């Protein structure tokens, strides 16, 4: 896969540039929307939920921002990845190129947006008087595992979308359920143990919890947490790779 990426490096770079320009085409603020959009959502959710949950959570603004930042990356990446094959059918039906290039380019574009928002997040941490430490360097780990997880889920969704357009509607509903099941704006401390276990099976929640543990608790997550994130990422990527390999030739007949 890496060899093919290197071989088609020019095409890959052009796809990333195209996706990035396409997202902000004919907008006044351009890339500024990648930072303004989550900030507006943060403001709305803070006003709505702070009176309910903010009194029991220290640094609630940062707590909420951790959840929004992570979930928005997952949602944007998978929604864009789902349509990556179908929207580029005019290219791969005429030119023999690895089909995962289109999905990868979407994820790189979304990763750039996430990185820009992450800089704003660090500024909010400072304003919220969150203590910075060397542990913040460990944030690279959940970024890498969530990137791999998003790519894997994107492969699965984009393959299914080629054959079943209903996936678009089903996924939009599922994304909402994932958001409410990721404890973005509330804590799970008061839930029964069985429900807390259910939360732990949600990959998005586990990534959010990992980031909060470093940023807010100032502790290094356990080895089990590291292995869990890696397990989710590898499982999703392998499943997505299998679908791409298995249905590679059939994509041409359904797009």
Residues in the chain, total? 255
In the three-class reduction of DSSP (H, G, I as helix; E, B as strand; rest coil), residue 187 is classed as coil
Torsion angles phi and psi, residue 58, rounded to 5: -70, 145
Sequence-separated contacts (24+) of 47-56 with Cβ below 8 Å: 49/185, 49/186, 52/186, 53/185, 53/186, 53/187, 56/187
pLDDT tens-digit series, residues 140-158: 999 999 999 999 999 999 9
Task: Please report which residue ranges of 184-222 form alpha helices under DSSP H.
Answer: 193-200, 203-215
Tens digits of pLDDT across the chain (255 residues): 656 666 666 666 677 677 666 666 665 555 666 666 777 777 777 776 777 776 678 889 899 999 999 999 999 999 999 988 888 777 777 777 777 888 888 899 899 889 988 988 998 899 889 999 999 999 999 999 999 999 999 999 999 998 888 899 999 999 999 999 999 989 998 889 999 999 999 999 999 999 999 999 999 999 999 999 999 999 999 999 998 888 877 777 666
The span from the CA of 111 to the CA of 91, in Å, is 23
What pTM value is reported for the model?
A: 0.88
Q: Residue ranges of the domains in the chain?
A: 38-254
CB atoms within 10 A of CB 10: 8
């Amino acid at each position: 896969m890496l060899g093919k990426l290197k071989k088609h490096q020019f095409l890959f770079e052009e796809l990333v540039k195209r996706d990035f320009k396409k997202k902000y085409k004919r907008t006044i603020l351009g890339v500024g929307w990648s930072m303004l959009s989550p900030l507006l959502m943060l403001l709305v959710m803070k006003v709505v939920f702070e009176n309910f949950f903010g009194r029991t959570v220290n640094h609630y603004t940062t707590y909420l921002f951790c959840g929004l930042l992570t979930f928005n990356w997952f949602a944007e990446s998978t929604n864009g990845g789902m349509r990556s094959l179908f929207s580029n059918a005019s290219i791969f039906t005429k030119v023999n190129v690895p089909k995962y290039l289109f999905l990868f380019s979407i994820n790189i574009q979304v990763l750039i947006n996430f990185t820009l928002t992450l800089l704003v997040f660090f500024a909010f941490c400072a304003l919220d008087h969150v203590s910075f430490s060397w542990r913040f360097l460990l944030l690279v780990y959940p970024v890498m595992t969530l990137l791999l997880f998003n790519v894997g889920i994107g492969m699965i969704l984009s393959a299914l979308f080629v054959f079943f357009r209903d996936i678009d509607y089903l996924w939009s509903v599922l994304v909402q359920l994932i958001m409410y099941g990721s404890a973005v704006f509330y804590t799970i401390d008061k839930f029964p143990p069985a429900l807390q276990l259910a939360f732990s099976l949600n990959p998005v929640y586990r990534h959010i919890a990992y980031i909060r543990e470093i940023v807010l608790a100032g502790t290094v997550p356990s080895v089990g947490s590291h292995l869990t994130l890696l397990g989710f990422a590898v499982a999703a990527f392998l499943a997505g790779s299998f679908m791409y390999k298995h249905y590679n030739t059939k994509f041409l007949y359904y797009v």
